[in-house]
Chains A and B, each alone.
Chain A
Amino acid sequence: MAVPQVAAPPPATRRVRRSHQGWKFVGPFMIVFALVFLAPIAYSIYLSLYRNRLIGGNAFVGLDNYTQALQDSQFWSGVGRVGLFLVVQVPIMLFLALLVALALDSGRLYGKSFFRVSIFLPYAVPAVVAALMWGFIYGSQFGLVGSINDALGISLPDPLKPSLILASIGNITTWQFVGYNMLIFFSALQVVPKSLYESAAIDGAGQLRIIRSIKLPAIRGALVIATIFSIIGSFQLFNEPAILRNLAPNAITTYFTPNFYAYSLTFSGQQINYSAAVAVIMAVITMIVAYVVQLRGTKDL
């Protein structure tokens, strides 16, 4: 639903006879898919319609959990936080990734393959390790921030204080994913026919003009897909806040992100049904936003 534009398969040259042969190949995937995708979706919708009461046990309550969630200020503060994160972090990250991809593609860079590999490296670092590492760096004890404060006798703002924690998390995810998005953009730029640039240059177009009029439109599909993946990623924010919470328990609440809220509701609050409703609402919001971006991004193609 989110990515049909780029996901449409290239048509096979000729179709083999119409039969059930194909199911022999697609079947195993679909069976596991049904177990780990479709069944949990159905199960959480089912759970979200019930509530466990002290008296009367498990009872059907219709959409009560949903109306409760829609009026829940903790839930909305989490949604607002990931919304802010999305609006600020995603553009910065994608912009940096695009700049590096364009620089690599320009052919005017010394040490191109070194840069390509080293900027991509953080993607291979597991999110947990990345969060642990940056958490140490942010720390005022043996962290880099603490070291710099000691060495220079100054006091930098604590990256783990409540007003900065979201920006600090944004830095971690930017660090991790700039290289991945850069590689997607760079790969897309590679398949643009170079002759286009040459004829544009002959017509007197400068580099910026070539970028704006040829390169960016040519990689539009990659831009849209990277944006959608980044949006989905932002809505799912969990690892970084969960790990930094050890260091900054006051800055990161149990409802810091909607996903963290759903986790806390299930495992600390035992509110399974309510948690399911929160998860369903978040899935719907994610799908709507991803769909809108996809529609807008591919509107005049």
Chain B
Amino acid sequence: MTTTSVQKPSARTSKPVTLSSKRPRRKGSILLTVLTALMAAYSLFPLAWLLINSTKTQDGLFSSFGLWFDDGKFALFSNIADTFTYNDGIYLRWLGNTALYVLVGAGGATFLALLAGYGLAKFDFVGKKAVFAIVIGAVAVPPTALAVPTFLMFSKMGLTNTPWAVIIPSLISPFGLYLMWTFAAQAVPTEMLEAARVDGAGEFRTLFKLAVPLLMPGLITTLLFTMVATMNNYFLPLIMLKNPDWYPLTVGLNSWNAQAATAGGEAVFNLVITGSLITVVLLLAAFLSLQRYWQSGLAAGSVKE
């Protein structure tokens, strides 16, 4: 904040802010907007590619230009219909499996993180320091390094090839615990809990009636991040599940993609693309409709020091 060695303002920087008590509204910069627009174009272009190519038939994919529609053929609706009916409607089954894993896995992870985060923030108990040390230490262990031993352990316990093999490991989110902990410490006044205790309310009743409403933004943020983590999970279901009936969408879509390479396998790239599009649209709808919550939640909880 000294005046020495001040960098010469470049084209992107504004002139010094004028003296005024209100924060002055600075002029928009065309150059900065164009540069950011390039980044946005990079982010959106594969999604545009996906959307355009989901309107093509399997043959059209090969015969038409990648970034434009196939003349005269608009196969989006038949692709969607085929996606849902191919192989006796296995896609719908995968969609249901994904919903099951996400709801039970991410929902359970959020619930456990809520309980534990609240417990850590609002109670003092023997072994609390050890809990903190163990959980923080475990964050650095790559989950995929755990997946193979977990598989071997689960196969001894007879859990592989069942939904439990995917759900149980999804129930723990150290990041979710950290979020809920920070939120509970900030958003729930200890005085309020003490008042509830004086009134004779049980501990769990206090949590669900008084604390949970205050923790809503944190809960939704945690839920969204655990949902993305569960949806994204490919390695775990890939090794845990052999029966396609239990596949989530990620493993299922890749199995459709890979089947073209197998002997006698039918190439269904149009269905892979349409199936991917449906997956993306569902996720984006969830994200955009809840954006008010996760954006404020992220700002308030995850990164504030």
Enumerate chain A interface residues (CB-CB to B < 8 A).
Answer: 1-4, 6-7, 9-26, 28-30, 32-33, 35-41, 43-44, 47, 96, 99-100, 103-104, 106-111, 114-115, 117-119, 121-130, 132-134, 136-137, 141-144, 146-148, 150-151, 175, 178-179, 183-184, 187-188, 190-191, 194, 197-209, 212-214, 221-222, 225, 228, 232, 235-236, 238-239, 242-243, 246, 259, 262-263, 266-267, 272, 275-276, 279-280, 282-283, 286-287, 290-291
Contacts and interface: CB of A to CB of B under 8 A. Distances in A.
Contacts of A276: 148-149
B141 A191 contact: no
A136 B273 contact: yes
A251 B19 CA distance: 60
Contact of B113 (A29, A137, A151, A209): A29
Contact of A206 (B8, B191, B228, B258): B8
B76 interface: no
B186 A10 contact: yes
A6 B93 CA distance: 41
A70 to B, nearest CB: 17
B7 A209 contact: yes
Nearest to B151: A266
Nearest to B273: A136
Interface in B147-168: 148-153, 168
B14 interface: yes
Given A6-B303, A25-B118, A99-B39, 10 more contacts: A2-B140, A3-B140, A9-B185, A25-B203, A129-B250, A130-B46, A137-B49, A178-B43, A191-B299, A262-B145
A12 B185 contact: yes
A236 B86 CA distance: 34
Interface residues of B, number: 129
B71 interface: no
Contacts of A212: 7
Contact of A39 (B17, B50, B153, B258): B153
Contact of B269 (A6, A12, A142, A198): A142
Contacts of B195: none
A204 B17 contact: no
A187 B298 contact: yes
A208 B123 contact: no
Given A13-B189, A28-B112, A36 B172 contact: yes
B36 A133 contact: no
Contact of B62 (A17, A142, A262): A142
B255 to A, nearest CB: 10
Given A142-B269, A213-B1, A236 B144 contact: yes
Contacts of B143: 236
B47 A43 contact: no
Contacts, number: 370
A1 B146 contact: no
B23 interface: yes
A275 B234 contact: no
Q: Which 7 A-B pairs have the closest CB atoms?
A: A25-B119, A22-B123, A207-B13, A22-B125, A29-B116, A147-B66, A44-B149
A57 to B, nearest CB: 17
25 contacts: A9-B120, A10-B186, A13-B189, A16-B124, A18-B125, A21-B125, A25-B207, A36-B171, A99-B39, A109-B36, A115-B36, A118-B44, A124-B228, A136-B53, A136-B269, A144-B67, A183-B295, A208-B13, A232-B142, A238-B235, A259-B142, A259-B145, A276-B148, A286-B142, A287-B140
B119 A24 contact: yes
B190 A14 contact: yes
Contact of B123 (A19, A108, A263, A272): A19
A133 B50 contact: yes
Interface in B17-33: 17, 19, 23, 25-30, 32-33
B177 A12 contact: no
Contacts of A38: 134, 138
Nearest to A280: B145
Interface of B: 1-3, 6-10, 12-14, 16-17, 19, 23, 25-30, 32-33, 35-37, 39-40, 42-44, 46-47, 49-50, 53, 61-62, 65-67, 112-113, 115-116, 118-128, 131, 133-146, 148-153, 168-169, 171-172, 177-178, 181-182, 185-186, 189-191, 193-194, 203-204, 207, 228, 231-232, 234-235, 238-239, 249-251, 253-254, 257-258, 261, 269, 272-273, 276, 279-280, 283-284, 286-288, 291, 295, 298-299, 302-305
B239 A263 contact: yes
Contact of A40 (B32, B136, B150, B191): B150
A43 B273 CA distance: 40
B142 A3 contact: no
